[in-house]
Structure 1
Amino acid sequence: MTTTYTTTTTGRAGFPLRTFFVPFPFVCFTLALITDIAYWQTSFLMWHNFSAWLLFAGLVFGGIGLVAGAVDMFRRSTRILGPGWLAAIGYILMLLLAVVNSFVHAGDGWTAIVPNGLVLSALTVALAVLTVIFAARRRSRVIWSIER
């Protein structure tokens, strides 16, 4: 019995638009967690402002990524390369948690970050990691098929 690995989609699939925008929220939310930790350790107000702006940038690009993902779902050439429902739901939940986190960060000073903002940032990054794992598992199943 021979196992053959074939790429089923690379030759005929289009380029997904969401790949331009989806990585930005992951980076911005991770950096927001790092700046929250820096604020917690130093109490320097600059880190609070960095966190708020990083959350805002992540949410803007996340919204654009949602629209691009919806467009990709309607394009026949990129539909097969979609992240799957579990990853899409995780991405939406991550953005909703980031919206709540952004509202918490809108407060003044120490109480906006410690402890609630820091916990929400950590949960957002944890959900981002899970979403990436779900998307990677789905993509690896789509691109490589095993024929017997």
Structure 2
Amino acid sequence: MQTPQSYRPGYPLQRLFIPLPFVCFILALATDIAFWQTVNLMWQNFSSWLLFAGLVFGAFAIVAAGIDLLRSSTRPLRPPLVGVVGFAVMLLLAFVNSFVHAGDGWTAVVPTGLALSAATFLVILLTLAFSARSNHALNWSTP
């Protein structure tokens, strides 16, 4: 007996975009540390571009999450509230960090930009830890 389509979960679009800001912001911390150690302006530029890319992909993830809320097949697979709040805090910290990195030279990264990048990294770790505990797994098997 076939299961009706409404009972099968669809693939959430947000899962295509959610990992990209995490990667960009973690690499921004790495390039901030590299700038702090070498004082090479190339690393500051890399950090600025990584922050920008992470914010753009974060905006795509928010739009995709809104689309997923409208789709009945993905509503049961919503992320937990702590994951949504953590993602929003991460984007807010990265947005402020992007403005800090818009400055020139040493003061654009050390100490404020580096501290914001580290705080963003800690929020990422907490968000991933709490989101991983949720039971929102895709079930692709047919009954």
Tell me how far 1:142 sits from its aligned partner.
Answer: 3.9
Structure 1 distance, partners of 2:22, 2:78, is: 18
Structure showing greater relative contact order (alpha-carbon pairs closer than 8 Å, 6 or more residues apart): 1
Confirm whether residue 109 of structure 1 aligns to residue 105 of structure 2. Answer: yes
Report the TM-score when normalising by structure 1: 0.85
The equivalent residue for 2:41 is 45
The within-5 A match list for 1:1-148 is 12-138=8-134, 141-143=135-137
Q: How many percent identity over aligned positions?
A: 59
Where 1:16 maps in the other structure, the secondary structure is coil
Structure 1 distance, partners of 2:136, 2:114, is: 36
Once structures 1 and 2 are overlaid, which stretch shifts more, 125-134 or 37-46? 125-134
Amino acid at match of 1:28: C
Structure 1 distance, partners of 2:136, 2:130, is: 13
- Root-mean-square deviation (CA, aligned residues, Å) is 1.4
Amino acid at match of 1:57: A
Report the TM-score when normalising by structure 2: 0.88
* Count of residue pairs the alignment pairs up: 132
Amino acid at match of 1:119: A
The runs of 5 or more residues in structure 1 that have no matched partner are 1-10
Tell me how far 1:82 sits from its aligned partner.
Answer: 1.3
Structure richer in strand, relative to its length: 1
Tell me how far 1:84 sits from its aligned partner.
Answer: 1.3
The runs of 5 or more residues in structure 2 that have no matched partner are 1-6, 139-143
Structure 2 distance, partners of 1:45, 1:132, is: 31
